[in-house]
Structure 1
């Protein structure tokens, strides 16, 4: 995944400008992670904040838009090209102010890019 693509939706995933994903269920390759609590659609920093419920002790996780592989609008599901453990091990999201914190967003981006490099993607 290219550096700049981690923060934007791919053209083939079913996303269209203005589509609200709030409330959609979020699934990884090995199970449900939670549901979309809110989304950021500003160019260059598109991402989802996902409420994990009790799965990660009631915390939220920040998911860069580039991890979205497919959106099923009819079923209201967002699919990610990651495992639950990879999502759980990402830099911890603790407050909404981090969605605009360049240092935090950079650490999230680096984390997923390092995973890609380790997997030869």
Structure 2
């Protein structure tokens, strides 16, 4: 039996969107907008927060402001990396390490298609090499 392939651009568990505090019409358009300001936790610690510029990237990505962690860069994570979301703690847990996120392709808003391809390839390969911890 083949393992389920990783799809970087699809939520693995969209059940978090059923939280009552979220406006359903807004979630249908942009399910990630309710996450702005949430802290993002890699498997080995915090990496930053969902940035207010999140709406500038496609809704199958999350824009994360890493603050001083990698010199104030913003990184874009495919939503497929999200393991779970804790609304009480306002945290998004991803199943990649800080190093894997740091080494991801740099976001290029001027070359969206090339960036998407490189990012998709990078994360797909990272899941092939190191499957998510369950």
CA contact (8 A) 1:13 1:70 kept: no
Unaligned runs of 5+ in 2: 19-23
| TM-score, with length taken from structure 2 | 0.75
Aligned to 2:120: 109
Q: Please, which of 18, 41, 49 is the counterpart of residue 35 of structure 1?
A: 49
* Distance in 1 separating the partners of 2:100 and 2:45: 12
Residue 2 in structure 1 maps to residue 5 in structure 2 = yes
After superposition, the C-alpha distances for 1:42-78 in whole angstroms (9 at most, x for unaligned) are: 4xxx010000001011100000000000001111100
| TM-score, with length taken from structure 1 | 0.82
* Distance in 1 separating the partners of 2:43 and 2:69: 16
Of 76-85 and 108-117, deviating more is: 108-117
* Distance in 2 separating the partners of 1:55 and 1:108: 20
Unaligned runs of 5+ in 1: none
After superposition, the C-alpha distances for 1:77-116 in whole angstroms (9 at most, x for unaligned) are: 00000000000000012x5445xx1110110010011112
- Number of residues of Structure 1 aligned to a counterpart in Structure 2: 114
CA contact (8 A) 2:13 2:83 kept: no
**What are the equivalent positions in structure 2 for 1:1-121 lying under 5 Å apart?**
2=5, 5-11=7-13, 14-16=16-18, 18=27, 19=31, 20-37=34-51, 38-39=54-55, 40=57, 42=59, 46-93=60-107, 95-97=108-110, 101-119=112-130
Kindly name which structure, 1 or 2, has the bigger radius of gyration based on alpha carbons: 2
Please tell me the root mean square deviation across aligned C-alpha atoms, in Å.
2.2
